[in-house]
Chains A and B, each alone.
Chain A
Amino acid sequence: MAAFFLCALTSIIFDLFSPFWYVIMAIILVLFCFTFSFYLPKKYKKYSFSVFSDYILIHSGVFFTKTKHMPMENIQFVVKVTGIMDHFFGLRSITIRAAGGAARLYGMTAEEADEMMDQLVRQIEKGEDE
């Protein structure tokens, strides 16, 4: 989408098939190929999360890797989101809001998300019982 808009913008700003137009188009193409064939697959591969009984662990990042550790007891509330594109691919994401931060678990199927949501709700409810 971004590549398409950049191409359109370049074509509006510069004369079509001028040297500048070629250079910028080439840069956009390289960036697009790099993102599509390397960055996004790598991002997908590197992204993982595990939910344990007392904490959630999220690994992410391509160039700068990040491991997020979120204790269950800090979780304040959870939100399951189905975006416009998610409808088409049957995907769901869950946003976990904790005191002082948030984490997003994405790329789950509807069933996985429901199961995850139930598990998180049970954990939060356990806090209330205690």
Chain B
Amino acid sequence: MRREQFHHTHPITIAKNLSRLLYFLIIPLARGLFVAVSSGSIYRWLQGAYFDIGILLIAVTIAVARWYEQRYHIGENGIYITQGIVRKKSQFIGNSQLATIITRASIFLRPILAVHLIGDTNAGKVGSSDFNIYISKKEADKLFDHRIEHYSSGDYLKKTYRPRSLYITAFSALLSNSLAGVIIAATLFSQASNLVNEEIQNRLLDTLSTFMQFIALYIPPLLSGIALVIIGGFGVAFIQNLLQYMLFTSTRTKDAITINNGLISKRRHLMRVDKINYLDIRQSILSKIFGLNITFVHCTGYGKDSKTSPVLIPAATSFQTKASLRLLLPEFKQQQREVYPKELSRIMAYIWQPLTIMSVTYLSAWILARYFLPTWSELISFIGLMLSIPFIWMLLIKIFDFATTGIGKNKNYYTLYYSSAFYLHTIILPKDKVTHIVIQQHPLQKRSGACDIVVYSFAENHQRHIIKSVPVKEAEAFLKM
């Protein structure tokens, strides 16, 4: 590949290269300069800041050199990138290997017609993308359009799914995940704050101690403050999610899915259908109450950024989810479960964990309140109760899990039903994305003829799906082991 065919990345890369210096060098220097200019003592400022200015000049030179040495070429069959001043790297990523291509045009990049282009394959480091460069919007659009055209076919009718605003709002609220946690935490803090007040006023304040007076004065407002901060945090997260997922569309062409979203910061994601590892239809207790499912798509690169969730259908009823999946990914067919725990006695395998933690938490609080701090008994019992609420929540999930768990299959896909932490999952997994399946038994399961099925699926790092306590004979027959 000849060097003349390569282009420089967008000059905004220089700013990105300098971003680490922004807070501890550029801002203090600029502030100092501003003060010096306004007081007319630039010479004195220069005398004090010459070392920092020197460092800054070196950093700027390195940033410019790094930008100058970073070049790319979008070829017919892949992307070439060269970079590095002393340690030089030349990279080639074939189009056929790219699982996901993403362009991000943030509020800062849009006015200068630049985008952040990110690409990921099934190889490379788990936590980071395989390449990410800043290029002009025009070049990125050209690449996107070229790839979309490649993945389209003349006779294939393009299909687009656009969720209703209500569902985007619901999704944003559900995704601002602390919603359930926030309700509990806010209640805990504000109620505790009331109780502390009452406790101190009724029992302690008049009896003594400046220390208690201090708590009486400062702790209640502090706890209420924390509750307020959490609710405020949720509000911010909600608005951020809402802005990010507004204008959400998923479009299916013959061999790819394109997902666009964002009102202010615009994102485009292009995924090859054959690189999709699995679909995850997820429900929490809250979304179950509202009868909503959220469908995530697991494809390397999509959702890697901590600010993005790999969502395909933000929120929809079960019926709508099925209809939308038939539109977008008809090859991913959900199957009814064939192997599942049939005896009621197996429920203990599901509920013992939350039940134990819940009991231990409440018992510890009771013992503490009864024998060690009787004067604070009301407060401690309340905190014990509040701390055990997440496990009551989990217990409910596990009971639902027991009623719905299992595994089913058709010619090319497995459907797995299970729960992890606070979510119920329905996984539609292509058979060719299964790396291996393990049937495991502990001594108690051996006696009762039960087992856990552990399905390992293809990903940058192995992904595990565990279906608990199903009959071992049925599992072996189902998996033909």
Which of A's residues lie within 8 Å of B, judged by CB? 75-84, 87, 97-102, 117, 120-121, 124-125, 127-130
Partner of A128, one of B86, B96, B458: B96
Chain B: interface residue total (CB-CB under 8 A): 21
Partner of A117, one of B84, B88, B92: B92
B88 touching A124, Cβ below 8 Å: no
Q: Which residues of B contact A80 (CB under 8 A)?
A: 89-91
B88 touching A82, Cβ below 8 Å: yes
Q: In angstroms, how far is the closest chain B Cβ from the Cβ of A128? A: 4
B121 touching A97, Cβ below 8 Å: yes
- The CA of A99 and the CA of B300, in the complex, are separated in Å by 11
Partner of B95, one of A84, A100, A101, A128: A128
Q: Chain B 121-132, CB within 8 Å of chain A: the 1/0 string?
A: 111100000100
Q: Which residues of A contact B121 (CB under 8 A)?
A: 76-77, 97, 99
A127 touching B87, Cβ below 8 Å: no
- The CA of A65 and the CA of B149, in the complex, are separated in Å by 47
Q: Which residues of A contact B91 (CB under 8 A)?
A: 77-80
B86 touching A102, Cβ below 8 Å: no
A127 touching B96, Cβ below 8 Å: yes
B92 touching A124, Cβ below 8 Å: yes
Partner of A129, one of B77, B87, B88: B77
- The CA of A12 and the CA of B114, in the complex, are separated in Å by 54
Given A81-B87, A84-B87, A121-B92 contact (CB < 8 Å): yes
Most B C-beta atoms less than 10 A away, residue of A81, A101, A129: A81
Q: Is B93 an interface residue (CB 8 A)?
A: yes
B92 touching A77, Cβ below 8 Å: yes
A-B pair count, CB < 8 Å, reads 76
- The CA of A100 and the CA of B462, in the complex, are separated in Å by 9
- The CA of A122 and the CA of B218, in the complex, are separated in Å by 70
- The CA of A77 and the CA of B91, in the complex, are separated in Å by 7
Which B residues from 87 to 128 make CB contacts under 8 A with A?
Answer: 87-97, 121-124
Q: Is B181 an interface residue (CB 8 A)?
A: no
Q: Which residues of A contact B86 (CB under 8 A)?
A: 84, 87
A117-B90, A125-B94 given; name 18 further pairs at CB < 8 Å. Answer: A76-B97, A77-B93, A77-B94, A77-B97, A77-B121, A80-B90, A82-B89, A83-B87, A97-B121, A97-B130, A98-B123, A99-B121, A99-B122, A100-B123, A101-B123, A117-B92, A121-B92, A128-B94
Partner of A127, one of B88, B94, B124, B458: B94
Most B C-beta atoms less than 10 A away, residue of A102, A120, A121: A121
Q: Which residues of B contact A129 (CB under 8 A)?
A: 77
Q: In angstroms, how far is the closest chain A Cβ from the Cβ of B363? A: 46
Q: Is B28 an interface residue (CB 8 A)?
A: no
Q: Which residue of A lies closest to B81 (CB)?
A: A79
Which B residues from 48 to 106 make CB contacts under 8 A with A?
Answer: 77-78, 84, 86-97
Q: In angstroms, how far is the closest chain B Cβ from the Cβ of A73? A: 10
Partner of A124, one of B87, B89, B90, B96: B96
- The CA of A117 and the CA of B91, in the complex, are separated in Å by 9
Q: Which residue of A lies closest to B119 (CB)?
A: A77
- The CA of A98 and the CA of B97, in the complex, are separated in Å by 10
4 pairs of A and B residues whose beta carbons are closest in the complex: A76-B123, A97-B123, A124-B94, A76-B121
A79 touching B90, Cβ below 8 Å: yes
- The CA of A83 and the CA of B124, in the complex, are separated in Å by 19
Q: Which residues of B contact A124 (CB under 8 A)?
A: 77-78, 92, 94, 96-97
